[in-house]
Amino acid sequence: MNIERLKKGLAGLQLPCSEQICSRFERFHDILDEYNRQMDLTAVLDEDERVDRHDLDSVSVLAYTAFPEGARVIDVGTGAGFPGIPLLILRPDLQLTLLDAQQKRCVFLQEALKRLDLKARVIHGRAEDAGRDPGMRETYEVVISRAVASMGILQELMIPLARVGGKSIAWKGPKGLEELESARRAAFVLGGRLLDPVQVRIPGREDWAHLLLMTEKVRPTPAAYPRKAGLPAKKPLA
């Protein structure tokens, strides 16, 4: 792993970069490589690209919006643990839940957390079911998701999990601007208010940028949502 690249990137984002943080990122890469030989976790194999597109991309949100101390955070469709685990490496105070629909990924996540000496809850399940679970619905200060679905679908998977006064944050590429109208309409139905998109650039990567699409939860989500598993994708609200 290119530790110097990580350090420069974190410094450019004005984020902490202790020896413990760097060591955990390095170990996480090693664990990811080990499991990636057994299952499809990431197609980004180049170490410099992984630092930029996975690690720095995940934690860049901390440079643009505040996560309250000890906030309850859920990563919807976390996959290989992005953005949740990099955020936890920088902010171990977060009460993080990693949610994924594939059991084998959950096994990887549990092992990675154990070996990184980090604490988080790993749940094998779908976001639609989690959003209807009384123990999870409208529980989280921050709901995050990266590279999961279009915004018309994603809003229904995320907003029901956010408490009123909390927010959901979706990582999107530049084409995410084309999804703003559907995101706004779905947010309104679900009790949210879409905020202005935030453009994020990774230090040293002027050729590549992404968007953070944030939604503030302003009122409770109607009881009809989220709909049963599969319906949001088949019939997006927007």
CATH superfamily of 3-232: Vaccinia Virus protein VP39 (3.40.50.150)
Please say if the pLDDT value at position 45 is more than 60. no
Burial of 157 from C-beta contacts in 10 A (0-12 / 13-18 / 19+): buried
Longest Cα–Cα distance of the chain, Å, equals 49
**CA 169 centroid distance within chain:** 7
* Banded pLDDT at 106 (limits 50, 70, 90): very high
Looking at residue 53, its pLDDT comes to: 83
Please say if the pLDDT value at position 223 is more than 70. yes
Looking at residue 63, its pLDDT comes to: 95
Of 123, 193, 132, nearest to 161 by C-alpha is 132
What's the mean pLDDT in 138-159?
Answer: 94
pTM for the model stands at: 0.95
Chain mean pLDDT for the chain: 93
Among the residue ranges 78-82, 145-149, 181-185, the one predicted with the least confidence is 145-149
Rounded to an integer, what distance in angstroms lies between the CA atom of residue 135 and that of residue 139? 7
Looking at residue 105, its pLDDT comes to: 92
CB 162 within 8 A of CB 140: yes
In the chain, the percentage of residues whose pLDDT exceeds 90 is 81
